[in-house]
Structure formats: structure tokens, C-alpha cells
Structure 1
Amino acid sequence: MRMIDGLQGLSLKRMWQAFRVHRCDKHRGLAARSGLRMMLVRVLMALVLSFSVTATADAQEGKKPPAFESRAKYAILIDSRSGKVFYEKDADALMPPASMSKIMTMLVVFEKLKKGELSENDIFEVSVNAWRKGGAPSGSSTMFAKPGERIPLGTLMRAVIVVSANDAAIAIAEGISGTEEAFARLMTQRARALGLKRSTFANATGLPDPNHRMTARELAQLARYLIEVFPDYYKLYSIREFTWGKHKQYNRNPLLGKYPGADGVKTGYTSEASYGLVASAERDGRRLIAVIAGLKSKRERAEEARRIMDWGFRQFRTVHLYQPGEVVTQARVWGGKEDWVDLVTHDEVKIRLSDAERRNADADVIYRGPLMAPVAAGREVAKLRIRVEGKTVATFPLYTARAIEADPDMWGRAADTIKTWIFGG
């Protein structure tokens, strides 16, 4: 794969363009790799010098990161990709999580769906127990299911996720483990297997129980696991409304539709726990997860969620890398009328990074090559990967800019094969 030409000064965009590229096949040209390494060293040195000057100037001016203090009794703010903690307050204290613990309830289900042990079409029956403890008679969050109703698992999942339905959560627990108590033991077992050392579960709902406790840190870790491992199921958390029978209800997450980039996760409330929220939002390739708990009212919960997210996103600055349609690099084409095809972005490529992260960032392009002609235009063939200290913080798809026809000349294809052997793709 070829490198973008030159540094063109020290503009950030050109520095990024000059970053190294990487192919995932076993054929790599030694000469090409040597040249790329030299270019990478030059760019990283320029990047470090550039931001060292900025950091020094800021220090001389006496600038300090703005202080933040949450009004929540328990709080934590983390980066989803790296797990880095930006803020915490009594994050390891055990607390009643209320319905925020339903994240664990659903993760047990998602894992079983992934393994093929369950299907969203499986039918679960709502027992009298589920109706009494979590249905209309309970006065708690409910989907208003009736005793004896047989409901697909996929519908029950959405009821739990969108409107925190306790009857649906109990029906799921009983359908999987026979009793809610047995399912709660399974939740605790899975928590330990996932590295959550302190959380214990006594039910599937989060309703008050002295043995049902979590920490803000472990709630954030659980949300991160959900987002990173089950991205397709995570999309359910951004659904705004749920209807069962005559009952239409709305998602209680105060950030959905009102805070840019917010797409989850789960509210919680009991008189014991007060108001809490596990929130997540993504902007310019940066996702933050916040947990706040022990707040006095819905309004205070909503305000505090915005405050902690706003503060978190202010720790970063947006780096604009490429405009839509801009050429990022080229990919080798085997057996085509042309040897190379431009790889472009369809959307603007931008990412939020802190100053410290920019000083330790690099990028590469990953693709399996060479591409085999014919190559269609607009085909996704590669990814631009942004890393900080070796950890991937964002990826962006790259597409072929134009079609490349196959070369009908047998000798041309033979020459391509020889070039690939000698120089790599």
C-alpha cells in the first residue's frame, strides 16, 4: 500500500495523512516497509514537538483542567474504549442499584442468545408471581402483561430495556432458570466471571433487597462490556417507546433525544436507592459512560447527567482528519487494468482526543490484500484505525474510489503475481 505524499508542513491533517499503513496478509514488501517506518518516525517527532510546545505554553499561562464535583452520592465517568477513569466519587461503595442492575439481567440473556441457547422467538409465560411482584398490582415499572400471557422473548427484552418492566424481567428469569432466585444466583456467578468482585444480585428487577448491591464502578464496567461485546443488542437501548396492548410508554432515560450522541443505557429508582442513571454518549469517535446514583429527583438526575457528560467531553478536542470523499491512501490491485485504487472516506473522519492522547497517538490502515480485480466502486475494503498507546480508540471504514476492471491479458496477470511476490501488496 502506498503512502500519502509528503508532510506538507506541520498541519495536523497532513501529519495524520503521513501515518503508517498496514496490511493483514503475509506478503509485505521490505523496501516499502522501510520507507513507511522512516516516515512514521518523522511524523511522530513532529507531533510530539508540536503538542509539547502547546502544553508548555498552557503551563506558563497557568491553565488547569476545570474542576468538577458531582452532586450525586455515587458517580464515575469512564472512556468506553480504554476503560480510563476521568472522574469518580465513592465509586467502590456498595449501593442499591435499583433498575440499573437490569443491565446484568439482560447480559445473561444476550450471552445465551449469542451461544444459541435462546432465540428471540422463544415463548415465555407470565406467571402469577411475575404479575403480582412486577405487574400492574405491584405499582412498579411494568409492561402490564396479564397472568398466563405467552410472550416472545424479544418482546420481553424490549419491555425490560425500554420501560424497565419488572413483570417482563421476572418472566424472563423464571423462563430461563425456573425461579427468579435461581436466576439471581446465575447473575452473581456471571458477574464474578466477568471480573465484578463486589456486586451481588437477589432478583432480576433491582427491587429493594439487602442482598442486592452494586458499585458505580462495576455498573460502568458492565455497561462497557455490553457496548463493546454486544453492539447490536445495545442498539435496543436507544428505542424511545414501547407498547403492549393499550399501554404505550416511553423510555425514561432523560438524555435520549435531548443530549447529542446519547444512546443508552438505563435509569433506576426506588425509595431506597433514590434516582440513578447509567448513561452513555458518543461524539466524534469518543464514547463516555457515566454512572450517577443517589440523586433526589428526576430533574436533578437529568441535570447531573448533562453536567458530567459535558465536563467529560470538554476534556477532549476534535481532530478533523479527512473530509467526505477525500483520498486516505491506495490499495494494491492484482489482475486489474490499473495496479492501484484510491481508498476514500464516505463520511467526515474526526475524533476527540485529549492533548496527552494526541502526543501518543498513531494511525494505520488495515486491509487484506492485494485486492482481486475486478474491483467495484464504493466497496468497503479497509479500515482506518486510530490508536493511543497501542489501544484502538476508533476505526473508520474506507471505500474504493472507483471501479477497476480485470486485465484480460494473461501475461499482465502473471507479471502482477511476480510483483506481488517480490514487493508485496
Structure 2
Amino acid sequence: MIWIRRLSVLSCLAALAVSPAFAFETPAKQAFILDYETGIPLYAKNAEEPMIPASMTKIMTSYVVFDMLQKGTLSPEAKFTVSQNAWEKGGWASGGSTMGLSIGESVSVMDLLTGVIVLSGNDACIVLAEGISGTEEAFAKEMTAIAQEMGLKTASFKNATGLDEEGHEISAADLAMLAKLSIETHPEYYGLYALPSFEWNGISQPNRNPILGKISGVDGLKTGHLSVSGYGLVASATEGDERRIVVINGLDSISARAASAERMMRAAFRQFEVVAPFEAGETVGTIPVWLGKQDTVEAVVTDDIAIGIESSERRDMSAKIVLATAVTAPIEEGQKIGTLVISGANGLSEEYPVVAKEKVSKIGLLGRAFEGFAGLFDTGVATSEPVTEAE
């Protein structure tokens, strides 16, 4: 049975309130905003459920190649030959996004990587996959293994391109974290995402990112589109000393993606922020103690707490302490006694352990007998049932 006791801390959170504004909404089926510096989510809409990423997959394909280049197991000057398979699945005749490679052509890793990132070339992805792992299937298994090691638990890749294949999926939240890790661990290659165009075999194609060059500070990352998933984008931008990462997916047109991406990126800096309501050791509530020499004990948080919120919805934040069971003496100082749950109207909820600020000894046999006898005449809440919510 779960006990819940509402905190007086609500007044502390409400004190952060600002003048009312419209809450952020997006037509995207999946959406996520991540604060780069802290790794704290600022907004989420169906962000934890696995989705079809389409060509946003290529961020992971590129990450694997980045890793190999950084470790020295692959040279940027190494050349791979374009196979019949790569040309058929990813060349001009395929009708999909392509670098425009020719069968038998020998292309450097760095050129292929640029073709993947800037042009979303399916052919370039397959050439890299076959050159590195022998087959695209084997490369996709390696992609999944590396993603899982990185903590991207929803990641399951069946190919290097993002073309529709059963079981090929990842969540919007994990895509945002992948983008963060790409920027963080491979800054020497991340700049490829900001290239405005790339020319191959005499044909120049523009970067497909619709807000690159349109919003100041945007420097990546990758679009995606399939008929089964709609239009999506992973984008990142800086403003001053802040960086935000935005993921959207499931839009119904190119124009809708462009408009939603622009609005969401601007909102990421204007409407969302990271706040720090509590410091480690701060008291966040008072918990009743059963059979203790004192009736209550102060609950404190163990770490500094920082959360992402939408500025206009500070008033709608809620905080409560959840107890798995009644708190019964004896209690040691620092003993976990519950969980602080902070929720916001932006769809996010975070949990933090709370511990006893001080030791509470158990009352003696006589005291326990008296407390039990007194309970027979208690006209308040029945002692046999927990308080499910108390102001």
C-alpha cells in the first residue's frame, strides 16, 4: 500500500510563478527538448516510447564511424568501393536520399561520412557499413550493441540507413541523448552537421536541416522521413552559454516539420528553463512517525535537485512525498524514508530519495501500550487505514 503526504514545499514551488503565458504545444506525435549542459529534460510528448526514426538513424551510423576514427581503427583517408547492393538500395534509381555514388566507385571514409550527414545518402551509409562490417546487417547489430552500452535502452537498429524495417526503432528521448553524446564525445567531427551543402560527382545538394541557417546558433543535426513515421528532425542550437537539443517526429509534411522545428527551437530557449528548488540536506517535508519517541521526523533530500520546467507553468508544478509504508521507529539518521516526486504540466515527473534528518528512537513497552489504547478513542482517520493524501 502506498502512503502519500503532500508537502508544504508546494508554496516554495508556487513562489517561482511568473505571469501567465500560453503553454507550449506541438502537432508532432513525438517531441522532446533536452538541456545539453545538465542533461535535464525540459519537455516531453510520447518521448519514452520507441518510434520509427527514419533517417535520424544516421546520427547513430555516424557516431559508430566517429568512434572508429577517434580510436584510430579507421582512417579518414581509407577508401571503400560502392557495391551493386549499395547502389540499388541507395543510389539515384532508388528514389530515396542519395549521395549519388556509382557502382565500383572508390570513395574515402570522410567523403562518405559527409555524404551521410549532409545529404542523408542511403548509398553512403551502406558503403560504410559494408566496408566496416562486411554486411549492413552486421553493422546494424554493432550499432545496436554500442547504443545499448551508451544507455540508449530503446535503441534497436536493423540497418544503417533508417529505411523501413520491422523492429527498427528508438525513442525521441534516446535520440536526444544520442545527439548530446555525439556533440560531447566527438566535437572534432560534429562540425560536419553544420555544412550547408556538399557536392559529389558534379552535383551539389543542400543540407536537409530546415532550420540550419534560419535560426542563429543551429549547428545540427539530422532530418528523417518515411511514410510510416512522418517527418522528423533532431536539431541542436546554442544561445549564449546554453545549448538545447530538440527532437520532433510524426509531422505530416515538409512544411509542417520546418514550422514546428523553428517554433520548438525558439521555445526551447524562450519558454523553458532549468531551476534548482532544493539543495542537498534541505528539509522538504515532515513525516509522521509511528511508535517513536517523537511524533514526526524531518525529511531531507540527499542531493541538489535541478528540474526542467516550462516557465508559464510554474504554478502547475506539484510536489509530494510518497511512502511505501508507514514510517515506524526506530529510524536512523540518513535512513531512506520515502520518495520526493516533483511533477510538471510539461509531462515530466522526477523522483528523488528523501532521508531522515535525525535519529528517532522507539518508545518503550508502556508507551506503546498507551499509544494503542489512545488509538481506540481516536475520532480522526482510522488507524487501520493509511492516510492516502494529507494537506
* Range class of TM-score, shorter chain: 0.5 to 0.7
After TM superposition, the runs of 4+ consecutive aligned structure 1 residues lying more than 2 A away are 62-66, 356-360
Q: Which residue of 1 aligns with 2:29?
A: 73
- For residue 114 of structure 1, the aligned residue among 70, 82, 88 is 70
Partner residue of 2:111?
155
Following TM superposition, by how much is the alpha carbon of 1:65 offset from its aligned partner in structure 2, in angstroms?
6.0
Give the direction of change, closer, same or farther, for the CA distance of 1:228–1:66 in structure 2 (3 Å limit).
farther
What amino acid is the match of 2:70? K
1:184 corresponds in structure 2 to 140
Residue of structure 1 equivalent to 2:232:
276
In structure 2, the CA distance between the partners of 1:81 and 1:65, relative to structure 1 (3 Å rule), is farther
Residues 65, 191 of structure 1: alpha-carbon distance in 2 compared, 3 angstrom cutoff: farther
Q: Which aligned pairs between 1:191-210 and structure 2 lie closer than 5 A? A: 191-210=147-166
- Alpha-carbon displacement from aligned partner over 1:25-60 (angstroms, at most 9, x marks no partner): xxxxxxxxxxxxxxxxxxxxxxxxxxx99x95x74x
What is aligned with 1:303?
259
Measured in 2, the distance between the counterparts of 1:287 and 1:280 equals 7
Partner Cα separation in structure 1 for residue 305 and residue 225 of structure 2: 40
Secondary structure at the counterpart of residue 169 of structure 2: coil
- In structure 1, the residue matched to 2:58 is 102
Residue identity over aligned pairs, in percent, reads 49
Shift of 1:311: 1.4
TM-score, normalising length from structure 1? 0.61
Q: What per-residue deviation string (whole Å, max 9, x for no partner) do you get for residues 314-369 of structure 1?
A: 146xxxxxxxxxxxxxxxxxxxxxxxxxxxxxxxxxxxx75x35998xxxxxxxxx
Q: 2:129, 2:160 within 8 Å by CA — same for their partners in 1?
A: yes
C-alpha distance in 2 between matches for 1:80 and 1:294 = 23
Give 1:87's match in structure 2, choosing from 43, 56, 60: 43
Give yes or no for contact 2:276–2:305 (8 Å, CA) kept in 1: no
If asked which structure has higher relative contact order (CA below 8 Å, sep 6+), I would say 2
Q: Which residue of 1 aligns with 2:209?
A: 253
Which residue of structure 1 aligns with residue 177 of structure 2? 221
1:263 equivalenced with 2:219 (yes/no): yes
Residue 126 of structure 2 corresponds to residue 170 of structure 1: yes
CA root-mean-square deviation = 2.3
Any idea what the Cα deviations from partners look like across 1:202-248, whole Å, max 9, x if unmatched?
Answer: 10000010121111011001001001111121111000101111211
TM-superposition CA deviations, 1:351-405 (whole Å, max 9, x none): xx75x35998xxxxxxxxxxxxxxxxxxxxxxxxxxxx699xxxxxxxxxxxxxx
Contiguous gaps of at least 5 residues in structure 2: 1-10, 280-303, 307-391
Task: For 2:242, give the aligned amino acid.
Answer: R
- Cα drift, residue 307 of structure 1: 1.4
Q: Give the paired residue count.
A: 273
Match of 2:87 among 99, 124, 131: 131
Runs of at least 5 residues in structure 1 that lack an aligned partner in the other structure:
1-51, 317-352, 361-388, 392-425
Aligned equivalent of 2:371: none
The two structures have a TM-score, normalised by structure 2, of 0.66
